[in-house]
Amino acid sequence: MPTYTAPLLNHIATAALDYWLNRGSAFQEAIQEKPLLAMMEAKKKTFPGGKGNIIISVKGDYGNTSAPGTGDSLVGYQLADTVTYYTPANLAQAVYPWKEHHIGLTLTHSELKSDGISVVDTNGETTSEHTGRDVTVLVGLLDDALQDLSERYAISLNNLLWGNGTADPKALAGIGAIVTDNPTTGVVAGIDRSVKTWWRNRAYTAAMGTAVTGTPALAAWGGAPIASSATNGGVLCQQLQREYRQLTRYGGRPNTGLCGTDFLSALETELRANGNYSMQGFASGKDISIGTISYMGTDFEYDPTLDQLGYNKRCYWFDNRDIYLVAMQDEWRHQHNPARPPDQYVLYRGITCTGQVCARRINSALVIDIA
């Protein structure tokens, strides 16, 4: 008789037997919505394998940058005046190294037998269900394990997409590496933002407030967190309106707004205080809710992960055509069925994905906190 650990025995007991109890899937009590993950995966682009890096050509400088003002402006001339010429050489390359990721699970044949499942072939690619299993199994252990793997994949990928790449240098760097709290410093995709000001996002954060205090000229790219107030039409609402002009200044069209709960609450408070009118007046049934808050086509959406990260007072507003996930062709959500070791009766399942979060333009993005 094999020896089972207490957690394993508890897991098997939860998943099996007692035909007179309710049968079906376990209730999923802690699966959060993941708007950033859903959007990134839906909008992802692909690139072919065989490339060392993902390279995007970008341009933010124009004219004769090696000798500014020499031959790169219209000037008057007469008759046989000598004129000058310049050679444009201003293309830059944003370089993103692609990253590989893995997650996998293992189950023993003994666990599956306890669930009424026999493994037919060596690697578990095919299974058979015992006769009468449908009336004795409360929750399929194998199905539950694979669902668990799927959710852990989603949670960990979502965390990477929100991160800045420092927690795991071998994994992709997410939004936090591109839309930063102080966009006036640092190197993003090989481009130094202290030099190339057009490669900066906009920011209203504590870090940006400190930077502006030390160098007032940096206020052109943001400042300290905004103190929300319903006065004068709503301070936060007015700030977003001003920011939209800056975010669209160079061709961006922000269409994604992901917020923590306190940020959305501040917007709702300002909206209620300043009026929310319609031709029909109040909704029937005295529904006091406020629907989705939008600005120029962007729905400001609650992302629970921001609360989980301690950013409940934060909002990221960006153009998802400018910042997006790039996956290697045929290497995203690649499922694997590894062979079992010859001396162990175990079942393996794995998922790998290869790619990176990239940006072609960053000055169409904003990170904004409320005080």
Find the helix or strand (DSSP H, E) in which 151 lies. Answer: helix 141-162
pLDDT in tens, 309-327: 999 999 999 999 999 999 9
Backbone angles phi, psi at 35, to 5 degrees: -60, -40
State both tokens at 165.
């790449």
8 Å CB contact between 240 and 283: no
The Cα 85–Cα 169 span in angstroms is 46
Which two structure tokens, joined as six digits, stand for 142? 């194998």
| Token couple for 311 | 């950013």
The pLDDT assigned to 71 comes to 87
Half-sphere exposure of 294 (CA within 13 A, CB side): 7
The model's pTM:
0.84
Mean pLDDT of the chain: 84
| Torsion of the alpha carbons at 113, 115, 117 and 123, rounded to the nearest 10 | -70
- Domains, the chain, ordered by start: 32-58+93-369 (3.90.1690)
SS3 314: strand
Determine contact, residues 292/299, Cβ cutoff 8 Å: yes
Question: pLDDT tens-digit profile of 191-205?
Answer: 999 999 999 999 999
Tens-place pLDDT, residues 244-280: 999 999 999 999 999 999 999 999 999 888 876 554 5
pLDDT, tens digit (0-9, with 9 covering 90-100), for 225-248: 999 999 888 999 999 999 999 999
